Amino acid sequence: MTRDAATAVIKAILSEKDFLNDLDAKIGDGDHGLNMVRGATAASDALNELNGDENAKNVLQAVGNAVIMNVGGSAGSLYGAGLLAAAEILDENAVLDAKTLENVFSAAVNEIQRRGQANLGDKTLLDVLIPIRDTFKAENCVGKSFETLLTEARDAARDGLELTKSLIAKKGRAAALGKASIGFEDPGAASALIIFRALCGFWKDSRRF
């Protein structure tokens, strides 16, 4: 991920702060937007200090560390750990293609699951990240352009968020509500969609990682 891609994500998060806080107020403690903005601001500062060597690995590492060090809340540490795991599997020359995205999202999802012990359907950010990852698996990519795959992944992410409305939260604060969590989107799933939409917009325009 280039600094410009990260900047597109940061901008999207800053503009959705209130929306994310409002979602979290319904089934959590109302701070998800604030937590994400803290992470985005820290990431922006970290990127300003990155001089020169700006490949996807370095950018993801800088952003991951900034998020871990500056964001409280469950999503912050999970996103941060996921970003660092993604950075870990990239090499300096990584190109933007389906295989790379499958690897990046797999690394992030696996680390988030290792730490948070949540599965698909538990009403968390994984309900958006896992469908994105699955779109880029080799068996789904046959005969499709990268552009088509990005659109499919974005649609899968949107459907994943929509589905969280009908789910009972099994992890995080919302789990305390049990069935009362039904009817509301998961805030972490919503932020994951915001992040991925911003990346798709950037990638479609620039064709750069």
∠ CA(171), CA(84), CA(195), 5° rounding?
65
Within 22-81, the residues that bind ligand ADP by CB under 6 A are 24, 28-29, 31-32, 35, 73-76, 78
Amino acid letter, 44: S
* Per-residue b or e along 126-138, where b marks 16 or more CB atoms closer than 10 Å to that residue's CB: bbbbbbbbbbbee
Among candidate residues 98, 77, 75, 79, the one with its CA nearest the CA of residue 87: 79
Please give the Cα distance from 125 to 47 (Å, whole number). 24
Of the listed pieces 39-47, 55-63, 89-97, 171-179, which binds ligand ADP according to CB under 6 A? 171-179
* 163 near ligand ADP, judged by CB under 6 A: no
Those residues with Cβ within 8 angstroms of residue 155's Cβ, 6 or more apart along the chain or in another chain: none
* 31 near Mg ion, judged by CB under 5 A: yes
Please give the Cα distance from 45 to 142 (Å, whole number). 40
Please give the Cα distance from 17 to 63 (Å, whole number). 18
* 28 near Mg ion, judged by CB under 5 A: yes
* 185 near ligand ADP, judged by CB under 6 A: no
Report the residue number, 89 or 175, with the smaller CB distance to ligand ADP.
175
* 88 near Mg ion, judged by CB under 5 A: no
Question: 72, 92 in Cβ contact below 8 A?
Answer: no
Q: Which does 101 bind (CB under 5 to 8 A by kind): Mg ion, ligand ADP, none?
A: none
Of the listed pieces 12-20, 22-30, 118-126, 197-205, which binds Mg ion according to CB under 5 A? 22-30
Question: Minimal distance in Å, beta carbon 191 to ligand ADP?
Answer: 8
Question: Cβ atoms within 10 A of the Cβ of 140, count?
Answer: 15
Give how many residues touch ligand ADP by CB under 6 A.
Answer: 25
Please give the Cα distance from 44 to 36 (Å, whole number). 12
* 152 near Mg ion, judged by CB under 5 A: no
Within 97-156, the residues that bind ligand ADP by CB under 6 A are 112, 116-118, 124-126
* 24 near Mg ion, judged by CB under 5 A: yes
Residues that bind Mg ion (CB under 5 A): 24, 28-29, 31-32
Residues that bind ligand ADP (CB under 6 A): 24, 28-29, 31-32, 35, 73-76, 78, 112, 116-118, 124-126, 171-173, 186-189
